[in-house]
Structure 1
Amino acid sequence: MDRFDTMRLFTRVVERRSFTAAAADLGLPRSSATAAIKQLEERLGVQLLRRTTRHVTTTLDGEAYYQRCIAILADIEDAEGGFGAHEVHGRLSVDVNGHMARTFLLPELPALLARYPGLSVHIGEGDRLVDLVREGVDCVIRAGVLPDSDLIVRRLGIAREITVASPDYLERHGVPRTLDDLAGHMMIGFLSSRTRQVMPLEFTVDGKVREVVLPSRVTVANSDTSAALVRLGFGLFQAPKLRYADDIEAGRLVEVLPDHPPTPTPISVLYPPSRQLSPRVRVFVDWLVEILGPKLDS
Structure 2
Amino acid sequence: MDKLGAMEAFVRVVKAGNFSRAAESMGIAKASLTRQVQMLEAEVRTPLLNRTTRRMTMTEAGTAYYERAVQVLADIEEMEGSILDDVKATPRGRLRVDVGATVGHFLIIPALAEFHRKYPDITIDLGVSDRPVDLIGDNVDCVIRGGEVTDQSVIARNLGRLSMVIAVSPEYAKEHGLPTDPEDLEHQHRVVNYFSHRTGRTDAWRLERDGEMTEFRPRHVLAINDSTSNILAGLNGLGVIRTTTVAASSYLQSGRLLRVLPEWTVPALPIHIVYPSNRRHGARLRVFVDWIVELFRQTEETLRKHSLSLADRREVPSARTLG
TMscore range, shorter length: 0.7 to 0.9
When Rg is computed on C-alpha atoms for both structures, the one with the higher figure is 2
> What is the CA distance between 1:281 and its match in structure 2?
2.6
Q: Corresponding residue for 1:127?
A: 130
> What is the CA distance between 1:259 and its match in structure 2?
2.6
More contact order relative to length (CA 8 Å, sep ≥ 6): 1
Matching of residue 228 in structure 1 with residue 228 in structure 2: no
> What is the CA distance between 1:289 and its match in structure 2?
1.3
TM-score by length of 1: 0.76
Matching of residue 247 in structure 1 with residue 251 in structure 2: yes
Cα displacement string for residues 129-149 of structure 1 (whole angstroms, at most 9, x for unaligned residues): 223444444333222345647
CA–CA distance in 2 between the matches of 1:86 and 1:288? Answer: 18
Q: Corresponding residue for 1:175?
A: 178
> What is the CA distance between 1:88 and its match in structure 2?
1.3
Matching of residue 266 in structure 1 with residue 270 in structure 2: yes
Asked if structure 2 preserves the Cα contact closer than 8 Å seen for 1:19 and 1:33, the reply is: no
* 2:109 pairs with one of 106, 110, 113: 106
Judged with a 3 Å threshold, the aligned counterparts in structure 2 of structure 1 residues 72 and 119 are, in CA distance, closer, same or farther, namely closer
Asked if structure 2 preserves the Cα contact closer than 8 Å seen for 1:19 and 1:34, the reply is: no
Judged with a 3 Å threshold, the aligned counterparts in structure 2 of structure 1 residues 47 and 284 are, in CA distance, closer, same or farther, namely farther
Q: Corresponding residue for 2:309?
A: none
Q: Corresponding residue for 1:279?
A: 283
Judged with a 3 Å threshold, the aligned counterparts in structure 2 of structure 1 residues 31 and 125 are, in CA distance, closer, same or farther, namely farther
Asked if structure 1 preserves the Cα contact closer than 8 Å seen for 2:148 and 2:270, the reply is: yes
Asked if structure 1 preserves the Cα contact closer than 8 Å seen for 2:92 and 2:123, the reply is: no
Cα displacement string for residues 37-91 of structure 1 (whole angstroms, at most 9, x for unaligned residues): 665676xx655885455446668x96998688776765554444323453512x3
CA–CA distance in 2 between the matches of 1:49 and 1:280? Answer: 37
Residue ranges of structure 1 left out of the alignment (5+ in a row): none
Q: Corresponding residue for 2:220?
A: 216
Judged with a 3 Å threshold, the aligned counterparts in structure 2 of structure 1 residues 64 and 202 are, in CA distance, closer, same or farther, namely closer
Q: Corresponding residue for 1:156?
A: 159
Count of residue pairs brought into register by the alignment:
290
The percentage of aligned residue pairs carrying the same residue is 28
Residue ranges of structure 2 left out of the alignment (5+ in a row): 51-55, 302-323
Asked if structure 2 preserves the Cα contact closer than 8 Å seen for 1:17 and 1:134, the reply is: no
> What is the CA distance between 1:161 and its match in structure 2?
0.9
Judged with a 3 Å threshold, the aligned counterparts in structure 2 of structure 1 residues 37 and 170 are, in CA distance, closer, same or farther, namely same
